[in-house]
Amino acid sequence: MIRSTLCYIEHEGKFLMLHRIKKNEDVNAGKWIGIGGKLEDGETPNDCLLREVREETGLTLTDYRFRGEVHFLNDIYPDELMYLYTASSFEGQLTDCDEGVLQWVEKDRVSELPMWEGDKVFLDMIKSEKFPFKLTLNYHGDTLISFKSSPLFRC
C-alpha cells in the first residue's frame, strides 16, 4: 500500500493548489490537488509533509494540523493511505514546482476545479471541522463509486 501526505495550505481565504500538468505518466495528470507526496522509507507522516511542501513550493510550514486518514481503494491503481493536513502559517517565498503550476485559489472556488471527486468529499469534511476523521474512498478507475467516513480514534 502506498502511504502519502496531502496538505491544504491556507492564506488570506485561499488554498495553495497544484495543477498537475508537468509530470509524465501521472495518475493526477490535469487535476488540481493540494501539496504532498509519498512517504520515504523510515519517514513519519509529519516529516514527509514538511519535506514535500518544501520541495514542491519552497515554503516551510510553521503551523499545521493533522485532519484525518484517507484510504483510497481502486480496481486499477494501487491502494493508498493518505495523511491529510491543513496549514495556516509558513515562511519563505513560493517557488516553481516541477510537477505542475502552483496557484492560490479562493477556498469557495476550489471544488469547481478539475479534481478527483473524492477530494471534494474530504474538502467538505475539512470545512465541517470534525477532526480527526477516517475516510474510505472506493474508486472504479477514475470514478468514485462510494465513500464512508467515521471519527478517527487514535491511542
Domain boundaries, the chain: 2-151
At 104-148, the pLDDT tens digits run 999 999 999 999 999 999 999 998 887 899 999 999 999 999 999
Q: Look over the chain and give the mean of its residue pLDDT values, rounded to a whole number.
A: 95
Contacts 24+ apart (CB under 8 A), 49-54: 49/5, 49/7, 49/83, 49/85, 52/5, 52/7, 53/7, 53/9, 53/87, 53/90
Q: What burial letters (b/e) apply to 124-141, b meaning 16+ CB within 10 Å?
A: ebbeeeeeebebebbbee
Q: What is the pLDDT of residue 154?
A: 65
Whole-number Cα distances in Å, 117 to 18, 89, 143: 16, 27, 8
Percentage of the chain surpassing pLDDT 70?
A: 99
Flag whether pLDDT at 60 surpasses 90: yes
Can you name the CATH fold of 2-151?
Answer: Nucleoside Triphosphate Pyrophosphohydrolase (3.90.79)
Flag whether pLDDT at 155 surpasses 60: no
Across the range 59-84, mean pLDDT stands at: 97
For residue 152, give every residue at least 6 positions away whose Cβ sits within 8 Å of its Cβ, in sequence order, or none: 68, 69, 132, 133, 134
Q: In terms of Cα–Cα distance, which of 81, 92, 99 is closest to 135?
A: 81
